Structure 1
Amino acid sequence: MTALTARWVVVDIEGTLTPTSQVHVVLYDYARPRLGPWIDAHPSDPVVTEAVAQIRSLGGLPETAGTAEIVSVLHGWMDADQKIAPLKTLQGLIWQRGYAEGDLVTELFPDVVPALRSWHDKGLDLAVFSSGSVAGQVAAFSRTTDGDITSLFATHFDTVNAGPKREAPSYRAIASALGAAAAEIVFCSDVPAELDAARADGWQTVGLARPGEPFADADFGPHLAVRTFAEVSVDLP
């Protein structure tokens, strides 16, 4: 087991805490048919109207474009797995309702909650950095295969409040928001490019090379690579 010291542990979600299929199959399939009805059902919600305006702009649609045209753009982004803010916003709202109503349950890898609870109990602070919206993150952790684990996390970051996950300035912004030195933070992700960005800002990094996941056989280069969280310990300095 490799031992690290830090004050914060920041974790990715997809491929790190949950199987990739949790997002690409379960959550995407749940959101896809509900995007249009959600837009139509919330014509006065400022969050929804702002997202729709952004979709029209980013998708090259006229201001008169209707729901069907907007949904077509959204489905295209989903098919290409593009992490575009207004799509993530709408998905997050839909998933939030799905978790609240019990339609959705987040499947976590079995080693995840024991590790998170261990770090939390030791006094480390935990945060999330995911491309999914903050609202979607909180909803996902409110109903999991291990129950409600929202209390384990001190704060959440997404591509809206932090920036792109593969760019070093995003990690600089998170460190500033946490009030922590870069060297006091460990970032855990299954994506080498995200780890590269975090390391470029001075963070410690742990790559999750989980069997059966897309990056199981990736080259993690200078990053510590583990198959499960059971292979690494993190303690306060």
Structure 2
Amino acid sequence: MAAIPARAVLVDIEGTTTDVRFVHETLFSVARRDLAGYVSAHAGSPEVEAARGAVARERGAREEAVSDGELAAALLAWIDEDRKETSLKALQGKIWRSAYESGGLRSHVYPDVEPALRRWRDSGVTLAVFSSGSVEAQELLFRHTTAGDLTGLFTRFFDTTTGPKREAAAYQRIAEALGVRPGEVLFLSDVAAELDAAAAAGMRAAQILRPGTARDAGGRHAVAERFDEIAVELAGA
């Protein structure tokens, strides 16, 4: 692959830096196991009440009509659906914090990721993350990896409070927040629809084909199986 000029690299997590199985089989399992207890113990907290409000709105009910038990059941169903609901993601982040900080959880990052990120960062390229998981969950994942604390490599973390990952406007906002033009950003993801949205915003985009990822971008974007197959050069250097 020819070198790609960029001032910033924006990365997805699930299926890109991190094995999908870690997210679905480990993180989601921890959330399922601990969710009901967390809802009960933290009723009234901003995260729990935001989730209660989301469930109530979907049902057309008043928030006070949604009991803790009903809330937990609804959120478990959303986890099973892999619902990209911002309030659910925020709640999951709180649950995962306890698991990470107890030392019982370490996150998976593909071995090619850290060296490539460090190489790009050291060349002057800004690194950022865009994931449907909350900013808190993103920071926890990269702080507690099997390769050590990687949070220092990133300048910013973005979640769906910035906008849906399949809408171009979210990527335009991210470029503005990073202080660069969209065309100076390279977005890496395994999901073609996200790459299409980034490209529609003017970003460069490349699909990461980890094991089990289907090549479904139809030739619209560059393709790589590993981060070390991607050469990034600082734009304007």
User: Which TM-score band (shorter chain)?
Assistant: over 0.9
Distance 1:47 1:122, change over 3 A: same
The DSSP-based 3-state class of the residue aligned with 1:197 is helix
The DSSP-based 3-state class of the residue aligned with 1:2 is coil
Q: How many Å apart are 1:207 and its aligned residue?
A: 0.5
Q: Does 1:53 align with 2:61?
A: no
- Whether the 8 Å CA contact 1:126–1:153 is kept in 2: the answer is yes
Q: Which amino acid aligns with 1:101?
A: S
Q: How does 1:16-27 map to 2 (within 5 A)?
A: 16-27=16-27
Output the CA distance in 1 between the equivalents of 2:166 and 2:41. 35
- Whether the 8 Å CA contact 2:52–2:66 is kept in 1: the answer is no
TM-score under structure 1 length normalisation: 0.94
What is the CA deviation profile of residues 73-105 of structure 1, one whole-angstrom value per residue up to 9, with x for unaligned ones? 111111111111111111011112211111211
- Whether the 8 Å CA contact 2:207–2:217 is kept in 1: the answer is no
Output the CA distance in 2 between the equivalents of 1:219 and 1:133. 26
The DSSP-based 3-state class of the residue aligned with 1:5 is strand
Output the CA distance in 2 between the equivalents of 1:69 and 1:141. 32
Q: Which runs of 5+ in 2 are unaligned?
A: none
Output the CA distance in 2 between the equivalents of 1:152 and 1:220. 32
Output the CA distance in 1 between the equivalents of 2:97 and 2:157. 15
Q: How many Å apart are 1:165 and its aligned residue?
A: 0.3
Q: Which residue of structure 2 aligns with residue 219 of structure 1?
A: 217
Aligned-residue sequence identity (percent) comes to 46
Output the CA distance in 2 between the equivalents of 1:25 and 1:154. 29
The DSSP-based 3-state class of the residue aligned with 1:126 is strand
Q: How does 1:5-154 map to 2 (within 5 A)?
A: 5-62=5-62, 63-154=64-155
- Whether the 8 Å CA contact 2:209–2:224 is kept in 1: the answer is yes
Output the CA distance in 2 between the equivalents of 1:28 and 1:60. 27
Output the CA distance in 2 between the equivalents of 1:220 and 1:159. 26
The DSSP-based 3-state class of the residue aligned with 2:105 is coil
Cα RMSD (Å): 1.4
- Whether the 8 Å CA contact 1:96–1:140 is kept in 2: the answer is no
Q: Which residue of structure 2 aligns with residue 169 of structure 1?
A: 169
Aligned residues: 234
Distance 1:125 1:111, change over 3 A: same
The DSSP-based 3-state class of the residue aligned with 2:65 is coil
TM-score under structure 2 length normalisation: 0.94
Output the CA distance in 2 between the equivalents of 1:195 and 1:220. 11
Distance 1:32 1:172, change over 3 A: same
Q: How many Å apart are 1:45 and its aligned residue?
A: 2.2
Output the CA distance in 1 between the equivalents of 2:103 and 2:214. 31
Distance 1:89 1:6, change over 3 A: same
Output the CA distance in 1 between the equivalents of 2:49 and 2:211. 41
Higher mean displacement: 59-68 or 146-155: 59-68
